[in-house]
Amino acid sequence: DAKTTQPTSMDCAEGRAANLPCNHSTISGNEYVYWYRQIHSQGPQYIIHGLKNNETNEMASLIITEDRKSSTLILPHATLRDTAVYYCIVRPMNSGGYQKVTFGTGTKLQVIP
């Protein structure tokens, strides 16, 4: 898996948009960008993924740069329950083979009242 770089921590005011950046400059053409989060004492939770187009779901939006070397996860209206560690991961398209996923250190997002 390509490596990713994320800030160690970020703060965001409750109700504001949280923008979490991720650099993946060595990403390959067949690799997706995935985002997960881990709320304290829980298992990681899948948020969203994308290949090259921007994606949006009920949880978040994912903006991928045109060169695909970086991306931003956007939580449009952060709440206290969004306080968690957010992991950005790149992994190959599922070819039916081995699907190892490597987690980096992630970004600890603290939503402040």
Partner 1 sequence: SAVISQKPSRDICQRGTSLTIQCQVDSQVTMMFWYRQQPGQSLTLIATANQGSEATYESGFVIDKFPISRPNLTFSTLTVSNMSPEDSSIYLCSVVGREGPDTGELFFGEGSRLTVL
Alpha-carbon Rg of the chain, whole angstroms?
A: 14
- Nearest to partner 1 of 35, 75 (CB atom): 35
- Nearest to partner 1 of 2, 14 (CB atom): 2
Contact predicate 7/49, CB 8 Å: no
If you ran DSSP here, which 8-state letter would residue 16 be given?
S
Name the CA dihedral angle for 110, 37, 24, 111, rounded to a multiple of 10 degrees: -10
- Nearest to partner 1 of 96, 113 (CB atom): 96
Q: Which of 65, 83, 62 is nearest to 74 (CA)?
A: 62
Which spans of this chain sit near partner 1 (rule: CB under 8 A)? 32, 34, 36, 41-46, 49, 87, 91, 93-96, 98-106
